[in-house]
A and B are shown apart, each in its own frame.
Chain A
Amino acid sequence: MKSKLLMIIKIGWLSIWRNKRRTLISLFSILIGTGIPTFFVCIAWGFYAGLVDDVARLMAGHVTYEHVNYRNSPSNDLWVDDIQVINKSLNNNDEVLLTKQIVNLQGVAHTAKGSVGISLMGIEPSKEITISYLPESIVEGEYLSEGDGRWVIVGSKLAESLNVNVGKKFVFTTNDIKGELIEELFRVKGIFKTGSKEIDGHFVQSDIDIARMVAGLSSNDVSQLGIIVKNPDTHERFLQEMQKTLAKKNGVFLSWQQIMPDVATTIRMDRTAISSIMVLLVVIVLFTMFSTILMSTLERRREFASLLAIGTQPIELKLQIFIETILFGLIACPLGSLLGVGIAKWTEGYDMMDVVGGKAEDMTVGGFGMDTIITPLFSIPLILQISIFFFLAVQLLSILPIYLISRISITDVLRST
């Protein structure tokens, strides 16, 4: 049985090399078919992963703990209390890289030039420096440090709108948690530029202590507790666990997809587009391969007929054809994956804007600027998934020749030549 199977595999292997040129064209088409989506997926998924991580670190983490009603109406009077217990517990969790306490205040910034609606985010500067890309985006002045009080950093477009520079001041009008109107003077310590119109035009960061003071919150209260996890891929499971074990009655743990639905939707749409391209490539590859397999089967009708005549079982011939397509897939799909990974690796570190042209500012997803430096993500399960998908698609091609073999009339074929 073993030697028979080996013989069938051998015949299958040798048969695919009868017409080397045709075989090479087919292998090339599978290779390209597997390689292109692998390349795109490595690049795109790398962008998404980078974007999600950047945004999560800048905003409220991969997982966020906040008031149950805050998502529907992110107003200043919706906060979560007794946060230090939860914070301590989270910081003892092995899956957590760190947590960030956030006080968000929605309000209006005024100067003599005019008024602009802003979102002021009170953060812990010492932590922010280690996790967020905002400190690196400072183009004028300095980033915040602990105990900065009324010093804030503002976006470049906001600075322009308010006509403020480093050292200049503006008035921030908001409501405290009791609904009282509060006015507070802030002074610009630094100006940042991220490339995002939303962030650069309407975002201000301050030390959390001053934000708490303005809002009327205690040191045990926050608007949000952002959680940066070590492995963002497993954040959903982590979220479920935390919801069960840590959430209080008025608090809820939410994923970054729930916190930033625009980003999540854009990524989902983009992934769908790439999947569609992949399906299109499969169709093209299958068409190319189809003619090869069909020709190769029709050419060998006489051979098949004589093999059937001398006692080869139809199932053994069908197995041979199936093995031929398996061999096609086994050769080309891994090579295609390697090709895709290789090209993606080669492009690592290049600025995408140099390739596609345009301005980095235009590259925004859900209002957040994207890092245009190519940083591919080499996810082995994902790469294997593409390779296996193409491998299985190629196997579909054996259906026709197998059908043709089952229709062979030995006497007709042998008589015909």
Chain B
Amino acid sequence: MNTKKEIVSLRNVIKNYGHGKVITKALQGIELNILEGDFSVMMGPSGSGKSTLLNIIGGLDKATSGEVNFNGKDFNTLSNKALSIIRRNHIGFVFQNYNLLPVLTAYENAEYVLMLQEIPISQRKEKVMHFFQEMGLEGLEHRFPRELSGGQQQRVAIARAVVSDPLLVLADEITANVDSETAQSLLELMETLNKNNKTTFLFSTHDPAVIKFAKKVIVLKDGKITNEQISSENIEKYTKR
């Protein structure tokens, strides 16, 4: 019996773009559950709807129809402000381009979300330093993003995403801008966070290396989740940009 808590539940989610006759069906009847502690990877060719799905799960976009439940809350009924508060308190984001604030140091970037949550300074420091230690970022606290390598910036971005102990971390093509060695170490790091802190991760990627770490692989094709198994024969189809 599965006793894990359900964090995300999607029922018959449809997302269409455009109006009138020109409608692009980005998602067509998606059914998906993300459970606490999952380390799931979404794969699929470009245009398959990965980013759209990630945006809907993250409350950045709204589904045209269907049910999107996050931690028991129906996203379709929430205001933009309420969605923003849920993102602030319960969802971590890691972007392909890191998207760190260039005017803040590595430490301040990681601290930013905690500050939005109005966590007291002593706790902020404790949390940020804990993750910096765990992620091998010690000594880089006072560096600005421009003074860090791509891998280091992505580590800071991960620290920013996990530092507030979110229920879910959404990672969009996080290995796309780093070399394979750095990608490997980033994935190992996230795997460790998943194991040690029970942090739930959902990746969207084209990188076959990510699949090796996945506990669950979700394959998207033409806006639908397929039952197709990823194998060495067909992996090229899902990793092509």
Interface residues of B in 83-129 (CB under 8 A from A): 84-85, 87-89, 91-93, 95, 97, 99, 101-104, 108, 112-113, 115-116, 118, 121
Tell whether, in the assembled complex, residue A311 and residue B103 are in contact, meaning their CB atoms are under 8 Å apart: no
* Residue in B89, B95, B116, B160 whose beta carbon sits within 8 Å of that of A312 in the complex: B116
Assess whether A213 is interfacial by the CB under 8 Å rule.
Answer: no
In the complex formed, the residue of B with least CB distance to A415 is B51
User: Once the chains bind, are B84 and A4 in contact (CB under 8 Å)?
Assistant: no
**Chain A, 305-330, CB within 8 A of any chain B CB:** 306-314, 316
Q: Which chain A residues lie closer than 8 Å to B91 at the CB level?
A: 311
B113 touches A311 (CB 8 A): yes
Kindly state the separation between the CA atoms of A11 and B102 in the bound complex, as whole angstroms: 10
The reply on B165 being an interface residue by CB < 8 A is no
Q: Is A1 an interface residue (CB 8 A)?
A: yes
B-side residues, CB < 8 A to A, are 51, 55, 58, 60-61, 81, 84-85, 87-89, 91-93, 95, 97, 99, 101-104, 108, 112-113, 115-116, 118, 121, 160-161
Distance A303 CA – B104 CA, assembled complex (angstroms): 12
Can you name 5 A-B residue pairings with CB atoms under 8 Å?
A7-B108, A310-B92, A311-B116, A313-B84, A411-B51
Residue A18 is within 8 A (CB to CB) of chain B in the complex:
yes
Q: In the complex, A1→B120 CA distance in Å?
A: 10
B238 CB → nearest A CB, Å: 20
Q: Residues of A contacting B87 with CB < 8 Å? A: 309-311
Assess whether A11 is in contact with B160, with CB atoms less than 8 Å apart.
no
Q: Is the CB of A310 within 8 A of B160?
A: yes
Bound-state Cα–Cα, A1 to B84, Å: 17
A4 touches B118 (CB 8 A): yes
B85 near A311: Cβ-Cβ < 8 Å: yes
If over half of A's interface residues share one DSSP class (helix, strand or loop), that class is named, otherwise mixed; here it is helix
Residues of B within 8 A of A316 (CB): 116
Q: Give the nearest-CB partner of A315 in chain B.
A: B81
| Complex CA distance for A3 and B112, rounded to whole angstroms | 10
* B170 (CB) vs chain A CBs: closest residue: A309
Complex: how many Å from CA A414 to CA B95?
9
Q: Min CB distance, A382 to chain B, in Å? A: 38
Contact of B103 with A18 in the complex, beta carbons under 8 Å? yes
Complex Cα distance A3/B122, Å? 12
**Chain A's nearest CB lies how many Å from the CB of B153?**
13
- Are A303 and B99 neighbours in the complex by a CB distance under 8 Å? yes
